[in-house]
Amino acid sequence: MKKVQMPSGRPLGRIVCPHCGNDREFIEVARNVVVTTKYVQNNDGSFTPVEDDSEVTGKVELYCGECDADVSFFHDHLTEMLF
């Protein structure tokens, strides 16, 4: 992963990768995700999942979908703009 300088100030409007200019595709990586799944064992011995839950206990990172630059400093913006 390449390191890029954090731009000063908060992004206004659309975020743009400071390394390659990509403004379309971004990849979120969640570290240390705990996935809990509840199963019911059926009469024939098979299992059916009835409930699952995932919890992120680690860092969530954001990468440019084009050049893989670490743009985690934009992650708060993405969260705010997620509809």
Residues binding Zn ion (CB under 5 A): 17, 19-20, 22, 64, 66-67, 69
Q: Give, in order, the Cα–Cα distances in Å from 39 to each of 35, 36, 42, 51.
A: 13, 10, 9, 7
19 vs 60, beta carbon nearer Zn ion: 19
DSSP 74: G
Provide the minimum distance between the beta carbon of 15 and Zn ion in the complex, in angstroms, as a whole number: 11
Q: Are 74 and 60 in contact (CB under 8 A)?
A: no
54 vs 35: CA distance, rounded Å: 4
Provide the minimum distance between the beta carbon of 17 and Zn ion in the complex, in angstroms, as a whole number: 3
19 vs 75, beta carbon nearer Zn ion: 19
Provide the minimum distance between the beta carbon of 12 and Zn ion in the complex, in angstroms, as a whole number: 19
Tokens 């240390």, residue located: 32
20 vs 60, beta carbon nearer Zn ion: 20
